[in-house]
Amino acid sequence: MKAVIAGTGSEVPPKIVTNDDLSKIVDTSDEWIRDRTGIMERRVTDEGTATSDLAVIAAERALTSAGISPMELDLIIVATCSPDTLFPSVACIVQDRLGAKKAAAFDISAACSGFNFALSAAAAYIESETFKNVLVVGADTLTKYLDWTDRNTCVLFGDGAGAVALRGEKGDCGVLASYIRAKGEGRDFLVMPGGGTRDPEMKNGRFIRMDGKEVFKFAVHALEDSVKEIIQKAGFTFEDIDLLIPHQANLRIIEHVRKKFNLPEKKVYVNLMKYGNTSAASVPLALDEAVNEGRIKSGDLVVLAGFGAGLTYGSNIIRWR
């Protein structure tokens, strides 16, 4: 039994914040942000919108495109590190709002790697025939935790959600292999310190803190490793890959890996110019856009790969149905 991606969906908030907008509130410039990251603009939620609001819309679109009704769902996994509340999970909110009355629901916390982690878990449930129809959502609204006076972080992130509806099917298509790893020793390099049990009163602040240089070094290695390992694990070569969808954090990280493995530009999907780093949403949002643009056709071999806080990293390889 394989976990086949039967449908995809995504949602971003309507408000666009450009690099020029940011240069009015912090000492930065469009030129610096483009040169160092590739980002041109990002989407930002308004005060009344939480992660689940984006997740539900992305989920509905994925289910519609798959032709799976909410009542047919056995499990909902939401990858997020910006849940509406510490508990209950975003997945339970999504379950209720979809009316997926027969589904179990839980969140996975692996920051920007979350979608790849959640997809690997979903695939394992389906392959073991524990569940048949599984919804996986990656959703984050990290702009709510940005210090808009800190140019090291506020230029990087944006909000969004992406989802896939998976169905267990026999055959050669679906998730062929998964690879997930963690390096907890680097956990201090990218942190949201407040709000947890170490600091429930948020004395350390309510903003993301990042050592950009350390995360960059890790990210280059993690993306390289995730792509190489998954291709080897599944028994393919780089020439076999039709499309790589990497985590959309920084164009320099993606370009480093693309050049290292001699992949032509058309085989690597990039949309971070429009959205910045949307954390757990980045990979499924890019996947949904790639599908809608006709960049993926039946039989294609697609690699999804990501890295993030934790530190975490991982990948999935999919034969497209």
CA distance 124 to 121: 5
Rounded Cα distance between 42 and 61, Å, is 21
In the chain, the largest separation of any two C-alpha atoms, in whole Å, equals 55
Local structure of 49: helix, strand or coil: coil
Q: Using CB under 6 A, which of the segments 40-48, 100-108, 140-148, 151-159 binds ligand UT7?
A: 151-159
- Bridge partners of 180? 314
Q: Is 37 in the site for ligand UT7 (CB under 6 A)?
A: yes
Instruction: State which residue, 102 or 187, has the beta carbon closest to ligand UT7.
Output: 187
DSSP SS3 for 118: helix
Smallest separation (angstroms) from ligand UT7 to the CB of 43: 16
Q: Give the nearest distance from C-beta 216 to ligand UT7 in angstroms.
A: 4
Tokens of 64: 């519609």
Q: Is 152 in the site for ligand UT7 (CB under 6 A)?
A: yes
Own/partner pairs, 49-52, CB within 8 angstroms, 24+ separation = 49/13, 49/141, 50/84, 50/141, 51/80, 51/82, 51/83, 51/84, 51/90, 51/139, 51/140, 51/141, 51/161, 52/83, 52/84, 52/90, 52/93, 52/94, 52/97, 52/139
Least spacing, CB of residue 141 vs ligand UT7, in Å: 15
Tokens at residue 119, please? 């997809």
Size of site (CB under 6 A) for ligand UT7: 17
Judged by CB under 6 A, which stretch of 114-122, 149-157, 198-206, 262-270 contacts ligand UT7? 149-157
Residue 109 C-beta: closest distance to ligand UT7, Å? 14
Q: Does 216 bind ligand UT7 (CB under 6 A)?
A: yes
Give the whole-angstrom CA distance, residue 251 versus residue 218: 15
Q: Could you say which of 55, 79, 177, 215 contacts ligand UT7 (CB under 6 A)?
A: 215
State how beta strands 104-108 and 133-141 pair.
Answer: unpaired
Active site residues: 112, 247, 277
From 101, 102, 187, 213, residue interacting with ligand UT7 (rule: CB under 6 A): 213
Kindly tell me which residue out of 56, 59, 103, 112 binds ligand UT7, with binding defined by CB under 6 A.
Answer: 112
Query: Using CB under 6 A as the criterion, what x/- string covers residues 77-106 for binding ligand UT7?
Result: ------------------------------
Residues at the contact surface with ligand UT7, assessed by CB under 6 A: 28, 32, 36-37, 112, 151-152, 155, 212-213, 215-216, 219, 249-250, 277, 308
